């Protein structure tokens, strides 16, 4: 089979929607990564296999998948012909951090009404003249998502004491755009470098360098869709140069930053 991929991405002028992403992949496999936004996913053809919080999951037929921010996940085709998906990245104004735990426990929602509404929202977002309709449809979708997750809040899992791992994540978030060494991080959080790497990986299911790189790629996506050139984006997102950005961006997204930017311009 010849590897095939089709990607379209854009930032709509609709409050609450960070990015719209449509893709068809036959072989591309996402490495472990994180987003700073909610990932609201429907699969129109094929299926996706993914790991979330160390649990293997898949997208059953006609379901909606909601992957929470800051929780590592990956993704790969679960069928020989790959998968076709539509994704909305929603900011925390739509679902606040209280809902992260319930979403981790149950990311796949069997709700035909919700799925139909998400499809209608994608249609509205494709037309810049339908922003008011898109805002109205988004409000109904967010409300329905909260209805799914709210009953699980009372029985949500208590978060573990992540200690130095959480301290390191906070530090990486603060230094997202600047240089930092492991030795400096270990000094600032008062832990041995090896212990720090092991603690972070055990707590969050992703290595510190993978976390930092995926956060930077996430930011690069936003800037590229805003029309900034790849060279400027590399400098603005903490990468050494454009080739450094390109190498990591292609590993995560399956295409180069320049190709990704052109999908936004076409949309």
How is the chain split into domains, by residue range? Answer: 5-152, 163-266
Cα–Cα distance for residue pair 262/7, rounded to 1 Å: 10
- For 200, the enclosing helix (H) or strand (E) is helix 193-204
Spatial strand order of the sheet with 108-109 comes to 5-10, 17-25, 83-90, 38-46, 64-67, 108-109
Q: Strand, helix or coil at 33?
A: strand
Residues (pLDDT < 70) of the chain are: 1-4, 154-161, 265-267
Largest CA distance in the chain: 55
* HSE, side-chain direction, 13 A CA sphere, residue 3: 6
CATH class of 163-266: mainly alpha
Q: Is domain 5-152 given the CATH code 1.25.10.10 in the classification?
A: no
112-118, Cβ contacts within 8 angstroms, sequence gap of 24 or more: 112/62, 113/144, 114/64, 114/141, 114/144, 114/145, 114/148, 115/42, 115/62, 115/63, 115/64, 117/141, 117/144, 118/40, 118/42, 118/64, 118/86, 118/88
Contacts of 118 (CB under 8 A, 6+ apart): 40, 42, 64, 86, 88, 141
Return left, alpha or beta for 243; rule: phi > 0 is left, psi -120 to 50 is alpha, else beta. alpha
According to DSSP, the β-strands at 83-90 and 38-46 are antiparallel
Cα–Cα distance for residue pair 193/58, rounded to 1 Å: 35
Burial 41-70 (b: 16+ CB within 10 A, else e): bbbeebbbbbebbeeebebeeebbbbbbbe
The DSSP secondary-structure symbol of 74 reads: E
Single out the residue of 112, 130, 106, 100 nearest to residue 37, CA to CA: 100
Tell me if 5-152 shares its fold with 163-266. Answer: no
């Amino acid at each position: 089979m010849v590897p095939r991929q089709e990607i379209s991405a854009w930032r709509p002028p609709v409050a609450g929607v960070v990015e719209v992403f449509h893709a068809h992949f036959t072989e591309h496999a996402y490495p472990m990564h994180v987003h700073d936004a909610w990932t609201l996913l429907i699969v129109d053809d094929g299926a996706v296999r993914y790991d979330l919080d160390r649990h293997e999951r898949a997208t059953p037929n006609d379901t909606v998948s909601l992957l929470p921010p800051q929780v590592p996940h990956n993704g790969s085709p679960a069928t020989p012909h790959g998968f076709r998906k539509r994704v909305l990245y929603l900011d925390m104004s739509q679902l606040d951090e209280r809902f992260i735990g319930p979403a981790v426990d149950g990311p796949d929602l069997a709700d035909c009404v919700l799925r139909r509404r998400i499809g209608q929202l994608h249609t509205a977002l494709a037309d810049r003249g339908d922003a008011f309709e898109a805002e109205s449809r988004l409000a109904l979708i967010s409300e329905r998502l909260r209805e799914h997750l709210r009953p699980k809040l009372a029985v949500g899992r208590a978060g573990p004491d992540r200690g130095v791992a959480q301290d390191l994540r906070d530090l990486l978030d603060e230094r997202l755009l600047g240089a930092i060494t492991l030795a400096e991080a270990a000094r600032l959080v008062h832990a041995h470098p090896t212990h720090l790497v092991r603690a972070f990986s055990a707590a969050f299911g992703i290595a510190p360098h993978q976390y930092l790189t995926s956060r930077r790629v996430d930011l690069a996506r936003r800037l590229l869709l805003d029309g900034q050139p790849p060279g400027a984006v590399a400098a603005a997102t903490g990468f050494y140069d454009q080739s450094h950005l390109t190498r990591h961006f292609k590993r995560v997204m399956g295409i180069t930053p320049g190709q990704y930017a052109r999908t936004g311009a076409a949309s």
